[in-house]
């Protein structure tokens, strides 16, 4: 038995892809960047392909190359790279990886590298429609498309896609979404006039897949929804099933008197005789330091000394023996403490930090609410020191 583990339900990932597929007629790209949002890139990709994803998406070239080495032959797009990665770009193009292009400089490097490799590069031209990160601006877009058309005429590249990314898709009724959609249509019109007809057009991420069918085009990119976390929590779960359960086992349980300070800085002080339970996970494992803290609604009578609470809106919850308790005191590098009052517990008892909620345990969304962040961060930051245990078929070749 492991001290702590992140249990990943691969069947949930497959089912989530199937749920996404019912919401669109477009092809589905499974976004498995950042080690599959902390779930494990290769097992997540295998589960997503089993669920019907026909594309894979990553941020970095080395992620795409890892997928190729693992046997994945699906169309794979990498969208964030720099000129310093010339070797990885060469390998990616040779491996048939699609790459995003946001500027003339990017395009020039891809053209030169493709000529060196001897294989046409599949590029996705990215238009900045309002996120103001990567992508060509409205002013630069015609020049980029014209250059791409000239390169394609020589056979050195193929314009496989035109795409953009939304800034506020988790607010489906926000007017800026409509503005971005209009700008995307304009970018497509400019491309058409200049003779560029991409294989796929893609704009929709998870939130837009589930709330804005007018944004689906030919391909949609399923990221957070793949892992069962709602991209618009205010509108419900959309039938998605959380795939990660983070759990541990108590390393110590002890009775302490009233007035005892707990953890570094003694920000939490017991207000009565109570039982403290020690969980062997900390910020070295990706548990936010700010997750611990003050006595709050549902706590067991602790008080907080004056001082900076580290920005947490409230203490994050855990489940022990079927009951929820807030973390008390500061989270340390390797451990944190829970005040369980007069409840019974023993060394080795299971503690669940978050999971699908089927047994009343906290959700990743509960942690996000407590920390004033998003559930993306909660699951993605769980570190490599926490072993992943996979339920369902996590093995086999990519294709």
Q: How far apart are CA 15 and CA 395, in angstroms?
A: 17
Q: Is 33 a catalytic residue?
A: yes
Q: Which residues of 11-24 are buried (b: 16+ CB within 10 A; e: fewer)?
A: ebbbbbbebbbebb
Q: Which residues of 203-228 are buried (b: 16+ CB within 10 A; e: fewer)?
A: bbbbbbbbbbeebbbebbbbbbbbbb
Residue 76's DSSP bridge partners are 56
Tokens of 339: 């005040």
Residue 30's DSSP bridge partners are 56, 222
| Pairing, β 317-320 against β 323-328 | antiparallel
From the list 150, 227, 264, 376, the catalytic residue is 264
From the list 33, 227, 283, 325, the catalytic residue is 33
| Pairing, β 244-249 against β 4-9 | antiparallel
Q: Is 264 a catalytic residue?
A: yes
Q: How far apart are CA 201 and CA 215, in angstroms?
A: 10
Tokens of 1: 């038995």
Count other Cβ atoms within 10 Å, centred on residue 51. 23
Tokens of 73: 């032959």
Active site residues: 33, 264
């Amino acid at each position: 038995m492991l001290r702590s583990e992140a249990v990943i339900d691969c069947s949930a990932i497959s089912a989530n892809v199937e749920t996404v597929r019912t919401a669109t007629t477009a092809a589905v790209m499974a976004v498995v960047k950042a080690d599959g949002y902390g779930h494990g890139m290769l097992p997540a990709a295998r589960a997503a392909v089993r669920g019907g994803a026909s594309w894979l998406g990553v941020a970095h070239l080395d992620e795409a190359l890892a997928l190729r080495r693992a046997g994945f032959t699906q169309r794979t797009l990498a969208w964030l790279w720099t000129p310093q990665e010339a070797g990885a770009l060469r390998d990616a193009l040779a491996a048939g990886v699609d790459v995003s292009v946001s500027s003339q400089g990017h395009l020039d490097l891809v053209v030169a590298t493709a000529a060196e490799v001897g294989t046409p590069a599949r590029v996705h031209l990215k238009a900045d429609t309002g996120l103001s990160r990567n992508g060509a601006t409205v002013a630069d877009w015609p020049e980029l498309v014209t250059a791409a058309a000239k390169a394609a005429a020589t056979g050195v590249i193929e314009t496989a896609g035109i795409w953009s990314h939304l800034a506020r898709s988790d607010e489906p009724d926000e007017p800026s979404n409509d503005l971005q959609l209009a700008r995307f249509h304009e970018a497509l019109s400019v491309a058409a006039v200049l003779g560029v007809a991409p294989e796929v057009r893609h704009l929709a991420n998870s939130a837009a897949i589930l709330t804005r069918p007018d944004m689906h085009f030919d391909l949609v990119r399923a990221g957070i929804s793949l892992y069962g976390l709602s991209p618009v929590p205010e509108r419900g779960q959309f039938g998605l099933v959380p795939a990660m359960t983070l759990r541990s086992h108590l390393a110590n349980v002890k009775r302490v008197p009233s007035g005892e300070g707990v953890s570094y800085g003694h920000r939490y002080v017991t207000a009565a005789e109570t039982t403290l339970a020690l969980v062997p996970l900390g910020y070295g494992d990706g548990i936010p330091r700010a997750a611990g803290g003050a006595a709050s609604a549902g706590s067991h009578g602790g008080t907080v000394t004056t001082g900076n609470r580290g920005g947490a809106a409230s203490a994050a919850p855990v489940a022990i023996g079927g009951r929820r308790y807030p973390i008390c005191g500061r989270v340390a590098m390797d451990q944190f403490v829970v005040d369980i009052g007069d409840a019974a517990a023993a060394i080795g008892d299971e503690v669940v930090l978050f999971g699908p909620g089927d047994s009343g345990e906290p959700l990743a969304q509960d942690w996000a609410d407590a920390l004033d962040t998003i559930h993306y961060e909660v699951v993605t930051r769980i570190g490599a020191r926490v072993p992943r245990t996979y339920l369902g078929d996590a093995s086999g070749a990519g294709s």
